[in-house]
Chain A
Amino acid sequence: MMNPGLYHILFLSAALFFIGVYGFLTRRNLITMLMSIELILNSVNLNFIAFNKYVWPEKMDGLFFTLFIIAIAAAEAAVAIAIIINLYRSHQSIDVENAEDLKY
């Protein structure tokens, strides 16, 4: 069994990021889009942790950033879900295609 190196983790993180982007761009369901954003955030988290461990093992900055992002992601999810619920109440749908009142 080979120890995973920095590149493995970066590869995983990149894959996770693009899965998230793909999901964000293609899904019509707002909840799924939110989940995609979570994936993107997590890929970033992975990056931070990995760089922290392999490049600057004596520092803690990466860890702190990750913790911040997790906290913000939680708050953001709460706000986003509240917005989605309100949207559902007004539009009877959480399809993003229907929520285009803010166009020109």
Chain B
Amino acid sequence: MPNATIIALIPLLPLAGFILLGLFGRKIFKTSSGVIGTALLLTSTILALYTAYDYFFVYGKVAGVYQQFIPMKLTWLEFSPGVSIDMGLTVDSISVMMLVVVTFISLMVHIYSLGYMKGEERFPTYYAYLGLFTFSMLGLVLASNIFQIYIFWELVGVSSFLLIGYYYNKPSAVAACKKAFIVTRFADLGFLIGILILSNSAGTLDFNTMISTLTSPDSDAVKNAAATSFLGASALTWGAALVFIGGAGKSAMFPLHIWLPDAMEGPTPVSALIHAATMVVAGVYLVARLFPVFALTTPAVLEIVGWVGAVSAIIAAIIACTQTDIKRVLAYSTMSQIGYMMFALGVSHYGGEAGLGYTASLFHLFTHAMFKALLFLGAGAVIHYIHSNDMKDMGGLRKYLPITHITFLIACLAIAGVPPFAGFFSKEEILLAAYQNNMTIYWIALITSGLTAFYMFRLYFSIFWNKPHVVHGEKHGPAASVKTSEGKEGGFVMMLPLVLLAIGAAAAGFIPFGEFVSTDGKALESHFHLQFSIAPVALGLAGIFTAMWLYKKQNNKPEKLAASFNGLYKAAYHKFYIDEIYLFITKKVLFNLIGRPAAWFDRNVVDGLVNFSGNATEFVSEKIKKMQSGKVQQYAIYFLGGVIVLAAVFIYIWK
């Protein structure tokens, strides 16, 4: 049986780090905060690995099926009998897998940041925020209650906000962190309403009870919910779709992806942790967590999931080909890869062999975490060396950054799906699942995989080959002349994570993932079809060679190519103008058409009414004050008149 204390400690240790460093970091742990944070996370990682071993190899499998355990559940807030927010720990194959991914990547980032963020003024704050993020992400992963996931969902959102805005005095960082929070908040509104609908139909907030109620077609809950429809879709369809909107927002799916590229304003290790490996896949995890509901009760929503994923994958891949900021290229590539995971879920079914897409999606999540974190950390090393994000400032760095170069190449090969690196295996399964279920999505995926190889190697060749690197060049601006790292490749702490992740990126594919993670807990045989993998690998290689031809040497071929694709290139370079559309909606529509009139209405109409009543009183009294003339005889006449009128009334009317 799982040990509740050990599992609870995994998220609690980073939380302890957050509290410790957040409260006392500035004063007491000014320099030691990094080490403290890293040590706590190392403990967490070890505990997570132990839990994973324990679960997968010791107690998890009962009669050939991986079981779900809930070793601890505390009622946090009870709304009404049976409906309560519980803080629980869920131990099943996906949560344990995610535990390992999150703690491992987070540990790598912690170690890497010891070098990368060294000397920053708010170093302790940085580690405190990292601790908060890791805690929240682990809490999200372990959630046993849909509201618990929502709580941690918001918490990862706010840690992401804090970390993107870490360089708080940079206006672009401030704008980016606001954008990230607000866009995901908008998606969370959908999630919240989805929770309300689903929990109301199921009469519970607990995942297991909810799933079992909503997936049994004979239950009253499903019948009632199916009977109530709104705009042609049943309540449950709406609920699931709204929950998916929440997931799509966090996972930067089209059209809610606009915050992700901007989020690269944060420190690079943060991008590696949050905006590549862990938080952005929370949407995938959410859909996977509720997969039985999606697959069995609301297949229409699952279809939407598939299409949203596919569209995001290809759009992001096209945009990635044109960007010159290396972190933005990686951001779009992240979006594209998460699109892969999403549509893999979308083309999956529940149970047995048909659940291949589910397994493939989570497998890709696992491998992607490795190679994408590696890519970001590698990019961080490059940025650390060159003090610029722009591809145009780079080139010929392979001699100066040998370890970074090799590890980056491994990551590129992995993401391009070249065998035998990790990405090949997971992508292969995804494509197979798509091939079996939806040919259109399969073709989109295939094209995307070619594009992926192309833009990744465009990045690789532009950084490490292309034009020769000018040492001590004025090109790097004033920062380069400081020579903090000129001629040196970052210290051991920055290289160790790169190497470890490179090993992961190279070898993770050989894990027989299907045995551990599947829709129903039974082992899924992974079949390897040689003839099937020819097409994607060939496309991948074609992409690589095109990139090599264009970017290995400095030349004007890319410009020519861009000119020949003028319209498409321009649109992609401007990210298909989606940002502008959003800006139009928020600035022009929300602010000018709703906000401003509301404020005006309040000041002039509602408040005007209040002031009007005051002014009216004043006006009337101004008019009638003349009666108070100070002349006694006038008063006497009024008095007499009054007496006469009253007398007349009493005598003739009120007899």
Physical contact A–B (CB less than 8 Å)? yes
User: Residues of A at under 8 Å CB distance from B?
Assistant: 21, 24-26, 33, 96-97, 99-104
For A96, what are the chain B residues with a Cβ–Cβ distance below 8 Å? Answer: 631-633
Closest to B633 in A: A25
Closest to B629 in A: A103
Q: Can you list, as one digit per residue, whether each of B630-647 has a CB less than 8 Å from chain A (1) or not (0)?
A: 111100110010000000
Closest to A103 in B: B630
A104 touches B637 (CB 8 A): no
B629 touches A24 (CB 8 A): no
Flag whether B625 is at the interface (Cβ < 8 A). Answer: yes
A25 touches B637 (CB 8 A): yes
For B628, what are the chain A residues with a Cβ–Cβ distance below 8 Å? Answer: 103-104
B629 touches A100 (CB 8 A): yes
B636 touches A101 (CB 8 A): no
B629 touches A25 (CB 8 A): no
Pairs across A and B, CB under 8 Å, 15 listed: A21-B640, A24-B633, A24-B636, A25-B633, A25-B636, A25-B640, A26-B633, A33-B632, A33-B633, A96-B633, A97-B631, A99-B632, A103-B629, A104-B625, A104-B626
For A100, what are the chain B residues with a Cβ–Cβ distance below 8 Å? Answer: 629-631
A102 touches B636 (CB 8 A): no
- Which of B626, B630, B633, B640 interacts with A102 by CB under 8 Å? B630
For B640, what are the chain A residues with a Cβ–Cβ distance below 8 Å? Answer: 21, 25
The 4 tightest CB contacts between A and B, nearest first, are: A103-B630, A100-B630, A104-B625, A104-B628
Chain A min CB distance to B525 (Å) = 100
A102–B628 alpha-carbon span in the complex (Å) = 8
For A33, what are the chain B residues with a Cβ–Cβ distance below 8 Å? Answer: 632-633
A25–B640 alpha-carbon span in the complex (Å) = 10
A24–B635 alpha-carbon span in the complex (Å) = 11
A24–B637 alpha-carbon span in the complex (Å) = 10
A21, A99, A102, A103: residue with the most chain B Cβ atoms closer than 10 Å: A103
For A102, what are the chain B residues with a Cβ–Cβ distance below 8 Å? Answer: 630
Q: Can you list, as one digit per residue, whether each of B428-447 has a CB less than 8 Å from chain A (1) or not (0)?
A: 00000000000000000000
- Could you tell me the dominant secondary structure of chain B's interface residues? helix
Chain B min CB distance to A2 (Å) = 31
Closest to A27 in B: B633
B629, B633, B636: residue with the most chain A Cβ atoms closer than 10 Å: B633
Chain A min CB distance to B215 (Å) = 81
For B631, what are the chain A residues with a Cβ–Cβ distance below 8 Å? Answer: 96-97, 100, 103
For B630, what are the chain A residues with a Cβ–Cβ distance below 8 Å? Answer: 99-104
Closest to A100 in B: B630
7 more A-B contacts (CB under 8 A) besides A96-B632, A104-B626? Answer: A21-B640, A25-B633, A25-B637, A96-B631, A96-B633, A100-B630, A104-B630
For A97, what are the chain B residues with a Cβ–Cβ distance below 8 Å? Answer: 631
A102–B631 alpha-carbon span in the complex (Å) = 9
A25–B626 alpha-carbon span in the complex (Å) = 19
Tell me the chain B residues, 610-638 only, with Cβ under 8 Å from chain A.
625-626, 628-633, 636-637
Chain B min CB distance to A40 (Å) = 11
Chain A min CB distance to B462 (Å) = 86
Chain A min CB distance to B633 (Å) = 5
Closest to A97 in B: B631
Chain A min CB distance to B509 (Å) = 95
For A21, what are the chain B residues with a Cβ–Cβ distance below 8 Å? Answer: 640
A103–B633 alpha-carbon span in the complex (Å) = 13
Chain A min CB distance to B131 (Å) = 72
Closest to A24 in B: B636
A88–B631 alpha-carbon span in the complex (Å) = 16
A21, A100, A104: residue with the most chain B Cβ atoms closer than 10 Å: A104
For A25, what are the chain B residues with a Cβ–Cβ distance below 8 Å? Answer: 633, 636-637, 640
A99–B637 alpha-carbon span in the complex (Å) = 17
For B633, what are the chain A residues with a Cβ–Cβ distance below 8 Å? Answer: 24-26, 33, 96
Tell me the chain B residues, 350-400 only, with Cβ under 8 Å from chain A.
none
A26–B637 alpha-carbon span in the complex (Å) = 10
Chain B min CB distance to A14 (Å) = 14
A25–B637 alpha-carbon span in the complex (Å) = 7
B628, B630, B637, B640: residue with the most chain A Cβ atoms closer than 10 Å: B630
Q: Can you list, as one digit per residue, whether each of B334-355 has a CB less than 8 Å from chain A (1) or not (0)?
A: 0000000000000000000000
Chain B min CB distance to A97 (Å) = 7
Tell me the chain B residues, 105-143 only, with Cβ under 8 Å from chain A.
none
A9–B628 alpha-carbon span in the complex (Å) = 38
For A24, what are the chain B residues with a Cβ–Cβ distance below 8 Å? Answer: 633, 636
Chain B min CB distance to A51 (Å) = 18
Chain A min CB distance to B327 (Å) = 76
Chain B min CB distance to A58 (Å) = 29
A33–B635 alpha-carbon span in the complex (Å) = 14
Closest to B624 in A: A104
Closest to A102 in B: B630
Closest to B631 in A: A100
For A99, what are the chain B residues with a Cβ–Cβ distance below 8 Å? Answer: 630, 632
For B629, what are the chain A residues with a Cβ–Cβ distance below 8 Å? Answer: 100, 103-104
Closest to A21 in B: B640
Chain B min CB distance to A104 (Å) = 4
Closest to A26 in B: B633
Chain A min CB distance to B527 (Å) = 101
For B637, what are the chain A residues with a Cβ–Cβ distance below 8 Å? Answer: 25
A69–B637 alpha-carbon span in the complex (Å) = 23
A92–B636 alpha-carbon span in the complex (Å) = 24
A102–B632 alpha-carbon span in the complex (Å) = 10
A28–B311 alpha-carbon span in the complex (Å) = 99
For A103, what are the chain B residues with a Cβ–Cβ distance below 8 Å? Answer: 628-631
Chain A min CB distance to B416 (Å) = 92
Chain B min CB distance to A90 (Å) = 15
A96–B631 alpha-carbon span in the complex (Å) = 7
B625, B631, B632: residue with the most chain A Cβ atoms closer than 10 Å: B632
A96–B632 alpha-carbon span in the complex (Å) = 7
A31–B500 alpha-carbon span in the complex (Å) = 116
Chain B min CB distance to A27 (Å) = 8
A99–B631 alpha-carbon span in the complex (Å) = 7
Chain A min CB distance to B631 (Å) = 6
Chain B min CB distance to A93 (Å) = 14
A33–B631 alpha-carbon span in the complex (Å) = 13
Chain B min CB distance to A103 (Å) = 3
A96–B625 alpha-carbon span in the complex (Å) = 20
For A101, what are the chain B residues with a Cβ–Cβ distance below 8 Å? Answer: 630
